[in-house]
């Protein structure tokens, strides 16, 4: 076939249809949409509250809380990119999305996934320096230094999805346009190509593993060092405080990484619905749970929150 013919075929598909969960009965559409909408509202509310508390309370302007702020902003952006379209698909039967908007959504989905990996690596670095090098911590981990590291993370996280996007744009799309997923992602889009997408899928898989494994390896190393340092603390109260601080971040890191490794390492899931459900689980659980973990385990955030609520109540009473 001529090159002109290939170029013509590449632009036959002008829109995709977000299927969501294949086989879901129409009678459950409204319930599914309502559930996803409630999750979205909970994510936006919880993480926005973290942002508000950080803005109004200067005592939270510390490296650890700046990292949490960055993670909350990233989670808000991710859910805003991922959820509205699938909610619209089930509430209004509006699952169509234009070709390039789908690619844009796919780009942002993978971008915020890579960004969260880097933020969690910085989270581990912060605790490593605070516990293993406490005397040097105020010098090494300043707000300025952390700002540079976060800025670097926000920029470099765009590199892996951009590489995979260039591979996807080389593929012709001339036939099927139904995406068996709740949002546009690299794997779902490449499966619809009218040509062999094995090379694009291999590059995407390698980049995903790199983005996951490098931060995860650093996290494992840093927390191993932290464990050794904590066990050397003679004071039992000091050990408990160090463990408590690390437990919060380790919980957040675990609910982000563990489900992803389970999905990526499992090829025996019996149905596509289960795969999609697991992808939605590991995508939405961390943004949903992180604010609750902050409030339950970090006393300073609770104190700022209660102080903020008390001030609001007093203002309303005086008014």
The rounded percent of the chain whose pLDDT value lies above 70 is 89
Q: Is the pLDDT of residue 7 over 50?
A: no
Q: How confident is the model at residue 238 (pLDDT cuts 50, 70, 90)?
A: low
- CB of 168 within 8 A of CB of 187? no
Q: How confident is the model at residue 268 (pLDDT cuts 50, 70, 90)?
A: low
- CB of 66 within 8 A of CB of 150? yes
Q: How far apart are CA 168 and CA 104, in angstroms?
A: 12
Q: Which helix (H) or strand (E) holds 178?
A: strand 178-179
- CB of 112 within 8 A of CB of 77? yes
Residues 6+ apart with CB under 8 A from 66: 54, 143, 146, 147, 150
Q: What pLDDT was estimated at residue 251?
A: 78
Q: How confident is the model at residue 290 (pLDDT cuts 50, 70, 90)?
A: confident
Over range 213-239, report the average pLDDT.
82
What's the Cα-to-Cα distance from 30 to each of 26, 43, 209, rounded to whole Å?
Answer: 8, 20, 36
Q: What pLDDT was estimated at residue 3?
A: 46
Tell me the pTM: 0.87
The rounded percent of the chain whose pLDDT value lies above 90 is 42
Q: What pLDDT was estimated at residue 110?
A: 94
Q: How confident is the model at residue 294 (pLDDT cuts 50, 70, 90)?
A: confident
- CB of 164 within 8 A of CB of 1? no
Question: Tens digit of pLDDT for each residue in 133-173?
Answer: 989 999 999 999 999 999 999 999 999 999 999 999 998 88
Please tell me the number of Cα atoms within 13 Å of 12 on its side-chain side. 16
Q: What pLDDT was estimated at residue 319?
A: 58
Over range 190-199, report the average pLDDT.
88
The β-bridge partners of 111 are none
What's the Cα-to-Cα distance from 95 to each of 21, 41, 100, 222, rounded to whole Å?
Answer: 12, 20, 15, 44
Q: How far apart are CA 76 and CA 287, in angstroms?
A: 8
Average pLDDT along the chain = 85
One CATH from 1.20.1070.10, 3.20.20.100, 3.30.590.10, 3.30.460.10 for 15-309: 1.20.1070.10
Q: Which of 45-49, 57-61, 232-236 is the least confident region? A: 232-236
Q: How far apart are CA 207 and CA 166, in angstroms?
A: 13
Q: Is the pLDDT of residue 30 over 70?
A: yes
Q: How far apart are CA 120 and CA 60, in angstroms?
A: 18
Residues 6+ apart with CB under 8 A from 176: 192
- CB of 164 within 8 A of CB of 105? no
Of 143-147, 174-178, 273-277, highest mean pLDDT: 143-147
Question: Tens digit of pLDDT for each residue in 254-264?
Answer: 878 877 777 76
Question: Tens digit of pLDDT for each residue in 300-310?
Answer: 888 887 877 77
**Domain locations in the chain as residue ranges:** 15-309
What's the Cα-to-Cα distance from 302 to each of 71, 99, 308, rounded to whole Å?
Answer: 18, 45, 10
């Amino acid at each position: 076939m001529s090159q002109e013919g290939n170029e013509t075929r590449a632009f036959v598909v002008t829109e995709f249809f977000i299927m969501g969960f294949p086989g879901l009965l129409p009678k459950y559409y409204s319930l599914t949409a309502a559930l996803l909408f409630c999750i979205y509202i909970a994510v936006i509310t919880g993480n926005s509250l973290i942002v508000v508390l950080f803005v109004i309370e200067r005592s939270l302007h510390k490296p650890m809380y700046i990292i949490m702020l960055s993670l909350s902003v990233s989670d808000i952006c991710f859910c805003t990119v991922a959820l509205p379209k699938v909610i619209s698909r089930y509430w209004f039967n509006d699952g169509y999305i234009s070709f390039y908007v789908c690619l844009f959504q796919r780009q942002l989905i993978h971008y915020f996934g890579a960004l969260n990996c880097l933020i969690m690596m910085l989270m581990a670095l912060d605790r490593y320096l605070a516990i293993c090098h406490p005397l040097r911590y105020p010098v090494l981990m300043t707000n300025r230094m952390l700002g540079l590291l976060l800025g670097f993370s926000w920029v470099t996280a765009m590199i892996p999805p951009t590489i995979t996007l260039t591979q996807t744009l080389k593929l012709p799309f001339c036939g099927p346009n139904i995406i068996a997923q709740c949002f546009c992602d690299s794997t779902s889009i490449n499966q619809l190509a009218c040509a062999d997408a094995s090379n694009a899928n291999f590059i995407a898989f390698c980049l995903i593993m790199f983005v996951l494994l490098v931060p995860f390896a650093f996290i494992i190393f840093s927390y191993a060092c932290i464990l050794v340092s904590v066990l050397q603390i003679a004071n039992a109260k000091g050990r408990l405080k160090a463990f408590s601080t690390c437990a919060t971040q380790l919980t957040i890191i675990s609910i982000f990484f563990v489900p992803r490794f389970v999905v990526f390492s499992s090829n025996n899931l019996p149905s596509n619905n289960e795969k999609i459900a697991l992808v939605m689980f590991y995508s939405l659980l961390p943004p949903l749970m992180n604010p609750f973990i902050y409030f339950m385990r970090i006393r300073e955030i609770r104190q700022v929150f209660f102080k903020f609520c008390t001030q609001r109540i007093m203002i309303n009473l005086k008014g």
